[in-house]
Amino acid sequence: MMVSLVILAAGQGSRMQSDLPKVLHPLGAVPLVLHAMRAGRALDPERVVVVVGHGGDAVAQVVTAEDEAAIVVRQDTQLGTAHAVGHARDALARLSGDVVVLYGDTPFIRSETLEAMIAARKTHDIVVLGFEAADPGRYGRLIVEGDTLTRIVEFKDATEAERAITLCNSGVICADRAALFDLIAQVGNDNAAGEYYLTDIVALAATQGLSAGVVTCPEAETMGINTRSELAQAEAVFQAHARAQALENGVTLFAPETVYFAQDTFIGRGAVVEQFVVFGPDVTVESGATIRAFSHLEGAHVSRGAVVGPYARLRPGAELAEDVRVGNFVEIKNAELGEGAKVNHLSYVGDATIGARANLGAGTVTCNYDGVFKHRTDIGEGAFIGSSTMLVAPVRVGADALTGSGSVITSDVPDGALALGRARQDTKPGLGKRLMDRLRAAKAAKAKG
Catalytically active residues, by annotation: 345
Beta carbons of 83 and 57 less than 8 angstroms apart: no
| Count of all residues that appear for the chain in the document | 449
Distance (Å, rounded) from C-alpha 129 to C-alpha 23? 21
**Cα separation of 63 and 8, whole Å?**
12
Instruction: Return the DSSP state at 26.
Output: E
Query: CA 266 to CA 262: how far, in whole Å?
Result: 9
Q: Which burial class, exposed, middle or buried, applies to 167 when counting CB atoms under 10 A from its CB (0-12, 13-18, 19+)?
A: middle
Pairing of strands 167-176, 126-132: antiparallel
Which residues, 6+ apart, have CB-to-CB distance to 149 below 8 Å?
124, 126, 128, 142, 143, 202, 212, 213, 214
Separation of alpha carbons 71 and 94, rounded Å? 14
Pick the closest to residue 332 from 322, 321, 345, 319 (CA basis): 319
Under DSSP, the state recorded for 299 is S
Residue 87's identity, in one-letter code, is: H
3-state SS, residue 362: coil
Sign of the CA dihedral running 17, 20, 21, 24: negative
> 258 to each of 250, 293, 312, 423, how far by Cα in Å?
18, 10, 16, 47
Type of residue numbered 362 = A
> What count of other Cβ atoms lies within 10 Å of the Cβ of residue 165?
18
Query: What helix, strand, coil percent values describe the chain, rounded to 5?
Result: 25, 30, 45
Give the integer Cα–Cα distance in Å for 279 and 271. 14
Q: Report how far residue 127's alpha carbon sits from residue 398's, in angstroms, rounded to the nearest whole number.
A: 65
H-helix segments, 156-272 = 160-163, 177-184, 200-207, 228-248
The Cα–Cα gap between 101 and 82 comes to 10
